[in-house]
Amino acid sequence: NNNQHRRQTKRSSSKTQRADKAMMQIPEKPKAFLFDIDGTLTDSDPVHFQIFQELITKVPTIKNPSNEPIDHDFFRKYIAGGSNPIIFKNLYPDLSEKEHEKMWTEKEKEYRKRAITSLVRLNGLSEFMEQIDAKSIPKVAVTNAPRENAEMMLKALELDIWFKDLVVLGGECEHAKPHPQPYIDGMRLLGLDPIEDAKDCIVFEDSPSGATAAVAAGCYVCGVLTSQKAEHLEEVGVHMIVKDFQEFSGRFYSC
């Protein structure tokens, strides 16, 4: 009976959490915008996908017993939005941390080489930046990407000057996403109170891992459909889903 009661309580709690998420209103006057970088400011996942497909063909993983080239479902499930230590530990549990680090260092080097000439801003981002600046709303980038990748992407997108030093790196926080710590640190970096002000902050995320972090931090979370299916983002509790910043601006400024 106790087990049954616990299951019922868990189900009830889960329903309550979903109801709370559904009831959360978009802030009319946001105190800040927090942006993931990879897959959110730019659709960078096709480059990551191609490199991981090549890597896993060359070094097979137990997660892909067929040894067929990985598909996008595999990429979404095991790779998208994750931090390198978690991704490589999941894919290659029999290898040492040192071997993992060597693999992801090579992988990221290849990513930077290919991405620097191919990245473009997501549709509507430039216009949205102008709207943010016109209202003087603070902003910060919050990413699980390694420092060299984050710096390369922001420079390639000509966003390094816009964000200046307002960049939080998950790998340099106490915990990376999907833990809320990077978003908590992002709010603090802007001088906000992560408890009092979170509900008035809007986060843009493209991955379930990142969205989980932002939801747990208490922010209003907008899922961007560059790499994931809508249901995967809805499952972790995002409050709005858009295909790009043009759609977000149209909906937000018509409220």
Per annotation, catalytic residue among 36, 43, 185, 206 = 36
CA 55 – CA 92 distance, rounded (Å) = 12
Residue in 38, 43, 185, 197 annotated catalytic: 38
Q: Which of 188, 110, 95 is nearest to 146 (CA)?
A: 110
- Gap between the Cα atoms of 71 and 12, Å rounded: 36
Q: Are 24 and 220 in contact (CB under 8 A)?
A: yes
SS (H, E, C) 44-108: CHHHHHHHHHHHHHHCCCCCCCCCCCCCHHHHHHHCCCCCHHHHHHHHCCCCCHHHHHHHHHHHH
Q: Return the amino acid letter for 66.
A: S
38 labelled catalytic? yes
138: Cβ–Cβ under 8 A, 6 or more apart, which residues?
Answer: 31, 32, 33, 166, 190, 191, 192
Which positions are annotated as active-site residues? 36, 38
